[in-house]
A and B are shown apart, each in its own frame.
Chain A
């Protein structure tokens, strides 16, 4: 026999690594493109100069560094975090519809943030990622408890239904708070549909360490996600402490989701769509799916945010609306393709 049985044949390894490099190149181009777009369009070369040879006497360099780069960085980390969170959830729950939005984590994080801002009058961002994380964790546990109580336990179907119900319920609570507190809510309205505008670097710094912990954790735990995707008993047979590992992965997902929500509000569909697209090309090995999801999720949100600012110039569409407008048909397309 001539064929060798490596986990990835040499050609697949080359193909996967090449894809990762192409993804990185696309990401860099989108990052620069994102910064170049705005009220005043900038040349790519100006953006690169501002990034690498900063000259504070040049106004355009100040625009890049002070105004546009924070937004681009936030789009990058939020896109990466949300799609990695979605990939982990889909693998562990063996549910192709798992996503931080659909399984209630996002609405939980949003509710916690709304409560903190509205009733505690929190105006500093420092604690917001943590508070959002508590909300995400609580709603995730609630979704899981409700799903487990269903006959047959926490199946993909019962989890999805329970996630939809609890997301709807939390959405209603947020609306009630909205109605009762019209004034304080004005400042939250844009954030609640998902928006990247008006953030500064300081807010990014409060979320970034959490996101790095979550992303590193995801990469480290990725091999066991493939095993968990084969079922709890198979994973346990391979020497994985299933309960402990799922708890660690849940913490990663909660951290990634909550810090993203704290930065950009609940941006839907990224965690759902990107891992699906990645799997179409990469198969089911989470060693590859996790880094691919991070890179393509980041590039995707950068691209969406460019469109959000270009489509109705000089008006801006809330990024969260656009991720849904683009993401929903993409999801329907994916479902149709995969059902065939």
Chain B
């Protein structure tokens, strides 16, 4: 993938009221960045403004040094793709038609379906393991299958940067893990830059290369999970009393709330060790 950059400078945005205040953020290239924070903290709002869906009230979003909001939107769509929260496919749309929609920015009135379009759709469906679903209506699929199809659509757009708004919400744990594995492989093996709004803290800590913590529309902390995913930060951002422990098998960090009743688990030999 070609080198691209996404920088957020002094960005404020919102709807009628300002939701995101003065955010300064560099999205690391070829990495998975996770935006986390409590409900209503502005993480989705920030993502929408990064995707040019919301206009800034102050500051800039710079895509390859150009302000994204004044770049022609179809040009942006060749650099940056967005998977919105809870997308809905029109009734009757089959999977390959959905994935083919990702090629929209690469087409025009005179340049309809090309070899490159077909190759991109084929590759996107292979990567997301959706080829077997190609002829099924999207509405007939399970939540996890459907989300893989939407990710295939975004992949078919063939952009260096992909933004995803809560792609794992409402899915089974196993499906969430599968999806995040897919996303991390997109970043690490295919050089895509991913920005993902996540709800599940432990998954965010386990998968993100770069963790961005938001509270009340402001950036509280950012960096690698080792630095950001701390008891103090969880307390100040989520008002959550939690221990951060390290899974001895994967070496991933995870949080365990402390204000829980001591249960049978305490008697058994604890596998996890506090860090």
List residues of chain A with CB under 8 Å of any chain B CB: 1, 3-9, 91, 94, 96, 220, 223-224, 226-227, 229-231, 233-234, 236-241, 279, 283-285, 338
Contacts and interface: CB of A to CB of B under 8 A. Distances in A.
B122 interface: yes
Contacts, number: 117
Contacts of A240: 73-74, 104
Interface in B200-242: none
Interface in B118-177: 118, 121-122, 124-126, 131-132, 134-135, 137, 154, 157
Contact of A239 (B104, B117, B135): B104
Given A236-B51, A283-B97, A231 B84 contact: yes
| Among A3, A5, A96: residue with most chain B CB under 10 A | A5
B73 A231 contact: no
A229 B138 CA distance: 14
A202 B101 CA distance: 43
Nearest to B53: A236
Interface of B: 48, 51-53, 73-78, 81-84, 87-94, 96-105, 107, 109, 113, 117-118, 121-122, 124-126, 131-132, 134-135, 137, 154, 157
Task: Classify the interface of chain A: helix, strand, loop or mixed.
Answer: loop
A12 to B, nearest CB: 9
B93 A283 contact: yes
A239 B90 contact: no
Nearest to B152: A5
18 contacts: A4-B118, A5-B122, A6-B121, A7-B117, A7-B121, A8-B97, A9-B96, A9-B135, A229-B93, A230-B90, A230-B98, A236-B53, A238-B104, A238-B105, A239-B104, A279-B92, A283-B97, A284-B89
Nearest to B83: A237
A224 B103 CA distance: 11
A3 to B, nearest CB: 6
Given A9-B134, A233-B51, A236-B52, 9 more contacts: A3-B132, A5-B131, A7-B97, A7-B117, A220-B109, A226-B101, A238-B102, A239-B78, A285-B93
Contacts of A3: 131-132, 134
A6 B96 contact: yes
B113 A7 contact: yes
B113 A6 contact: yes
Contacts of A4: 118, 122
